[in-house]
Amino acid sequence: MPNKMKTVGVAVLAASMAAGVLSGCSAEKKNSSETSQPSGSAQPAKPIEITWGVHFQAAAVVADTQVQKWLEQKFNVKIKPVKVTDASIASGEIPDLFMLGDPSNVSAYQAQGVLMSIDPNMVKEKMPEYYKDVEQAKALFQTVTFGDKLWAVPMFIDLKPYDLTMLWRKDWLDKAGIAKLPETLDEFEKAVYAFAKNDPDGNGKNDTYGLTGTATSTWSSGFYSIFGAFGVEPTMWQEKNGQIVNGSVMPEAKDALAKLRQWYSDGVIDPEFITDTQDSYRKKLYNGRIGVIEEQIGKAALADGATIVAMKDINPNAKLELGKNPKGPGGSGSWDWGIKSNYVVFGSKVKDDPAKMNKIFEILRAESSDEETINMTSMGVKGTHWDFAVSGASSGATKFLTGFEKQEQRDAIGARLFSMGNITTRSYRDKYSNPKLNEAVRTYSSAPNWTDALLFAALPSDGKYKKDLTALTQRYFAQFISGEIPLSDFDKYVTEWKAKGGDELTKEANEMYQKQFKK
């Protein structure tokens, strides 16, 4: 996702997980993930040694965990868990199997000769249950196809609890006499002005704002829902009249900036928006400084959502409620990462060891479609580490039990360290997901209309230009919004963006779209 080797958090995974059983398994067979021992008889052959890059979001390697030993016994392997970093890769320590967060990561490592190319037919043959599902989004394979070769097994996600929508201080709306949650940009504007001007916290001080942003996020410019209301998302590639254009330099971006500039001038936008982050603007919501934020649906849709719980701890009298992204002249929507999730890759030396390659695919098939393996690697032992949220249930939402609520507690037993996340089949996800959360995602997410036309695939010259162009956009946009420079300089910004690599990337984006993504 936005940061190198970063993507969906484990909370997202837990919220969106679901699972299916390998074909041929009996419906009456007891789920052996309820025990700490894997099913299947011992295999007499010598264990195959696999260097395994543990989940990249894990803080550190924990050796010889319960889950590692379980995997070793079930698949007759000997695992060496390692932490994957740019430095470790540069030193030549290349795992046999590991995960990457974005096509750009895959592209960078492929260019260094780190990865093994993968025959798509092998994925189809070795992982038939998963392939049947991911084949419905074939374009995902194109995101990691370079030189006409596939370099990773893509993961996918249909319902994304990390998609953004509006989270309102409903008690502030009530105090302002606004009975209906804002749905249009005009209604949104009325509400945020009331928050900034009408003393919603009742303390008699002029110390509140309507909203803030994240002008220095790692991938874009913040204020995603407002730009979406004008029909653009800065830094995202969008299709317009058969051509691929970048949302950063579209005329509609200037219109959105004009609206944000007006709000800032009128004291509606917190002047700290330039340095705010998602974490800091949540704290401002909790502490009564602002009245609405762009929030991940999964953190606020249910009573046990992280943001809802945090607000109750800090300000128990406050009321929060999700609302839709405001509809403006360009429609409505916010930043959407699309169906893309993470990627599974093989170290380059695996190609010289067919037995190891087959063993890795055997494990991946189980991690994608075998309920026992998925549960053990992602959650641990049922009844000890996790259980269904509803007592006695055999499907639906899950919860971690006392002593394992925190991720570091689960890492200590190896849960997550060896999980392959969103490589699970749809049937698994259907069984283990929360229906209420799924419905909230369907209601508030901007998908599938708001995502990158190239599914965030890496362009050949991204490494040369992308980071600097994103920083250029962030700097100019912050200055436009704050009034530091006139909005008439937008044309100057566009010219600079194009000259500093934007034109070259646009050319490459259109070539890639025509070759790999155009339907």
Tens of pLDDT along the chain (519 residues) come to 443 333 333 333 333 333 332 233 333 333 334 445 666 545 568 999 999 999 888 888 999 999 999 999 999 999 999 999 989 998 999 999 999 999 999 999 999 999 999 999 999 999 999 999 999 988 999 999 998 999 999 999 989 999 999 999 999 999 999 999 999 999 999 999 999 999 999 999 999 999 999 887 878 989 999 999 999 999 999 999 999 999 999 999 999 999 999 999 999 999 999 999 989 999 999 999 999 999 999 999 999 899 999 999 999 999 999 999 999 999 999 999 889 999 999 999 999 999 999 999 999 999 999 999 999 999 999 999 999 999 999 999 999 999 998 889 999 999 989 999 899 999 999 999 999 999 999 999 988 778 999 999 999 999 999 999 999 999 999 999 999 999 999 999 999 999 999 999 999 999 999 998 987
DSSP state of 161: T
Distances in Å between the Cα of 484 and the Cα atoms of 222, 239, 265, 270, 372 are 18, 32, 11, 15, 58
Does one domain contain both 235 and 383?
A: no
Q: Which of 382, 417, 433 is the last residue of a domain?
A: 433
User: Residue 148 burial (CB < 10 Å; 0-12/13-18/19+)?
Assistant: exposed
Does one domain contain both 128 and 178?
A: no
* 398 in a structural domain: no
How many structural domains compose the chain? 2
Does one domain contain both 326 and 429?
A: no
Structure tokens at 400: 């971690």
User: Structural domain of residue 236, as residue ranges?
Assistant: 164-335+459-518
* 252 in a structural domain: yes
* 418 in a structural domain: yes
User: Residue 146's domain is classified under what CATH number?
Assistant: 3.40.190.10
Residues 328, 410: Cα–Cα separation, whole Å: 44
Distances in Å between the Cα of 435 and the Cα atoms of 302, 319, 396, 438, 477 are 11, 23, 7, 5, 39
Structure tokens at 177: 């006499």
Question: What pLDDT sits at residue 449?
Answer: 78
Distances in Å between the Cα of 280 and the Cα atoms of 161, 208, 251, 314, 378 are 20, 15, 31, 14, 30
Q: Cα-Cα-Cα-Cα dihedral of 386, 337, 100, 403, to 10°? A: -20
Angle at 83 between CA 80 and CA 86, to 5 degrees: 130
* 6 in a structural domain: no
**Residue 295 backbone phi and psi in degrees, to 5:** -125, 150
Q: Looking at 33-138, which runs of residues are DSSP E strands?
A: 48-53, 77-82, 97-100
Angle at 105 between CA 117 and CA 98, to 5 degrees: 60
Does one domain contain both 271 and 182?
A: yes
Does one domain contain both 428 and 513?
A: no
Does one domain contain both 514 and 412?
A: no
Residues 30, 21: Cα–Cα separation, whole Å: 12
Does one domain contain both 328 and 350?
A: no
Does one domain contain both 289 and 369?
A: no
Does one domain contain both 183 and 118?
A: no
Does one domain contain both 473 and 411?
A: no
Does one domain contain both 143 and 286?
A: no
* 349 in a structural domain: yes
* 444 in a structural domain: no
Does one domain contain both 169 and 89?
A: no
* 103 in a structural domain: yes
Rounded to 10°, the helix 462-482/103-111 angle is 140
* 26 in a structural domain: no
Question: What pLDDT sits at residue 39?
Answer: 60
